[in-house]
Amino acid sequence: MPSESPKVRGKDARVLFERHAEMCKVFSNPIRLMILNVLREDEMSVAALADELGEAMGTVSAHLLMMKRQRVLASRKQGNQVFYSLANPKLLHAFDLIREILREQMRREGRLAEGMTPAKPVRKRGG
């Protein structure tokens, strides 16, 4: 199925793909993926995010900072709290598409696994 987007060419292609690769690093960590999922509906403070994810505030803060540097998240300060939100909700389209692909793969693998016979136990030598 061909893509609706035209093939990228020219001198700007390299810069675009470098930025694309940098942004994709956001998707390379499960905590960052969980942050995206939680922030899909509304902004949250660092403390609320840490509580929701069951992670230490320091861990969450480090991920939020990385995501803000990649321009994936926006932040605003209110008193002594920092609130984070998605900088561009279009990012969720990529997030959801990847998750949909993974679910399809998992369903296929599950069906394949159901049809397989269990492996025979391996006997240890000399035991």
What would the pLDDT profile of 82-119 be if each residue is shown by its tens digit?
Answer: 999 999 999 999 889 998 998 899 888 886 566 655 55
Q: Are 44 and 55 in contact (CB under 8 A)?
A: no
Decide if 126 is inside a domain.
no
Tally of domains in the chain: 1
Q: Is the pLDDT of residue 57 over 50?
A: yes
Q: What is the pLDDT of residue 3?
A: 63
Nearest residue to 55 via CA among 85, 75, 29: 29
Higher pLDDT, 55 or 19: 55
Average pLDDT over residues 58-65: 97
Q: Three-class SS of residue 86?
A: strand
| Residue 127: pLDDT band with limits 50, 70, 90 | very low
d(Cα 52, Cα 104) in Å, to the nearest integer? 27
Decide if 42 is inside a domain.
yes
Nearest residue to 39 via CA among 30, 51, 49: 49
Q: Is the pLDDT of residue 77 over 80?
A: yes
Model pLDDT for residues 42-51, shown as the tens digit of each residue: 999 999 999 9
Decide if 121 is inside a domain.
no
Range of the domain at 83: 12-113
CATH number at residue 17: 1.10.10.10
Decide if 118 is inside a domain.
no
Decide if 36 is inside a domain.
yes
Q: Are 31 and 53 in contact (CB under 8 A)?
A: yes
Percent of residues, the chain, with pLDDT higher than 70: 83
Decide if 31 is inside a domain.
yes
Decide if 58 is inside a domain.
yes
Q: What is the pLDDT of residue 2?
A: 55
Decide if 1 is inside a domain.
no
* pTM exceeding 0.85: no
